[in-house]
Structure 1
Amino acid sequence: MYQSDPPQSAKETLPTMYDLPSEFPEEPGLPDQFHIYQPRLLDETFQPSTYSVNEILSATDLNLYYDVEHSLWHKRPDWFAVVGVSRLYEEKDLRLSYVAWQERVSPLIVVELLSPATEKEDLGQSLREANQPPTKWQVYEQILRIPYYVVFNRYNDELRVFILHGERYQELTVEAERSLWIPSLELGLGLWDGFYEGIKRRWLRWFDGEGNWVPTLVEQREQERRIAQQERERAESEKQRADRLAQKLQELGIDPNDFS
């Protein structure tokens, strides 16, 4: 095989996201409603203050290509986030997939939403068959070296958090609602009981350094509406106060305009 001199990098020689398929017919179909709503909530509340909006990528069910020797091998996390990378591919295009050898930045965190069919795969309990792609666990832990791996079981609301220490994941003891703190983001991830998309249940959600849940888009609009209403009420109160003062001055035979 011809080798250029100097040798070219994987970024230059291997397929880009435009060359790789974003969908495979043999893969499972569309996700259920929880697999739509929960990643959306993670997206809305993932607002790290340590990075600009253009340095943050979060994605749901996006093919993650990871192996330079087997360019079609991929995983499709339920949700993942990358920081320190352009929000747009090469700062110009929405991504069709995330290609590790092109991006050169691995995800910081992956979230898998457990289901009976994927439990063993997600928790590293399934064995790799000969000549078959590695499991998700192996890809996240040993190939991409993703620092934070979160698994949430919506059937019993069990949250499991794994942090990369050395060569292996170690499970974090989860004792409180606000379970995982990521210093580099100044954000934490925990379990929140509340309504989202009109559904009350326990959800995964990001919180800030003061322990406050990061507001969703709807909550942000409601906060802005309340602030605007308070400003209107304050302005109306000041106007009424000024009108009463002007009336009192007129009763005393004083022209209020003398004070303007």
Structure 2
Amino acid sequence: MVQLPTQSYPPLSPRQTLPTMYDLPSDNPEEPGLPDEFHFLQPLLLFLTFQPTNWSPELVFSACDLNLYYSVTHPQWYKRPDWFGVVGVPRLYEGQDLRLSYVVWQEEVSPYVVVELLSPGTQEEDLSRTVSTPGNPPTKWQVYEQILRIPYSIIFSRYTNELQAFHLLGGHYVPMNLVDNRLLMPELGLSLGLWQGSFREINRLWLRWMTLEGELILTPEEEAITAQEQAVTAQERAVAEQERAERLAARLRELGVDPDELE
């Protein structure tokens, strides 16, 4: 009998062997629904205005209240940030599908910035006051800082309007200072600031994305209003110019000059 040579294969990567987003749920049955209306509107405003100028829109992804799976050794463990943004990944999963969850070992890119909105039920963990016990999932702070190494972690309280921000330096989060009431993120070409204004007919202090110079990044609704206002202004300017030309022509005729004969 002829002995066939054995062939060895390289080990499969976690991307090939671990669950994908199609296998991991996006909703937790123990947490039905969102906790309050602010936790819907504030992440939505962040979602609509997150437009990094240093990245193509096709390589920018952000999500609200989406499960973030982070552990290769514990593939069922996840955190659910109120909002997070990623750069360097396709807008669609593998360029073709809406995401059910964000699975780091499949995406191979960690979020770049994460925002947590304080609420009575989660503020202890959001503020890093909880301690992980052996055998249980790590805390949010541990995941964001030590496992995913997310460059920017932001915490905002709608009750006190307090904004806390941390930047990953030397492997640890250090507090960030606000510049003109904004957090500068030059790697994204953006700043994150507090803005008093009306969003979805609710006037309050909101957290929203701006340019590095502090100009508001407009939502689609704001862009439509601005375009309409500019169109009206242009039309009014054209009417004013036409009326001015007609007054000038009338004055010339009074002086015995035919304006049609003038070059």
Contact 1:161 1:171 in 2 (8 A): yes
SS in 1 for 2:42: helix
What is the DSSP-based 3-state SS (H/G/I as helix, E as strand, rest coil) of the residue aligned with 2:150? coil
Match of 1:36 among 40, 47, 51: 40
Letter in 1 for 2:136: Q
Instruction: Select which of 230, 233, 237 maps to 1:230.
Output: 233
Structure 2 residue aligned with 1:103: 107
Question: After superposition, what is the alpha-carbon deviation per residue over 1:170-191, rounded to whole angstroms, capped at 9, x for unaligned?
Answer: 122447522x100111111121
Number of residues paired by the alignment?
A: 257
Contact 1:160 1:174 in 2 (8 A): no
| Aligned residue in 1 for 2:19 | 15
Which position in structure 1 is the counterpart of 2:153?
Answer: 149
Q: What pairs up with 1:1-260 in 2 under 5 angstroms? A: 5-174=9-178, 176-178=180-182, 180-248=183-251, 256-258=259-261
Q: CA deviation at 1:220?
A: 1.8
TM-score by length of 1: 0.91
Q: Which runs of 5+ in 1 are unaligned?
A: none
The alpha carbon displacement at 1:216 in A equals 2.8
RMSD value over aligned CA atoms?
2.1
Query: 1:240 aligns to what SS in structure 2?
Result: helix
- Distance of 2:247 and 2:162 partners within structure 1: 61
Query: Residue by residue, what CA displacement relative to the aligned partner does 1:82-130 show, whole Å, maximum 9, x if unpaired?
Result: 0111111111111111110111111000000011221121122211122
Give per-residue Cα distances to partners, 1:174-224, cap 9 Å, x unaligned: 47522x100111111121222222222221112212222222333222211
Further displaced range: 103-112 or 193-202: 193-202
Alpha-carbon distance in structure 1 between the residues aligned to 2:93 and 2:70: 16
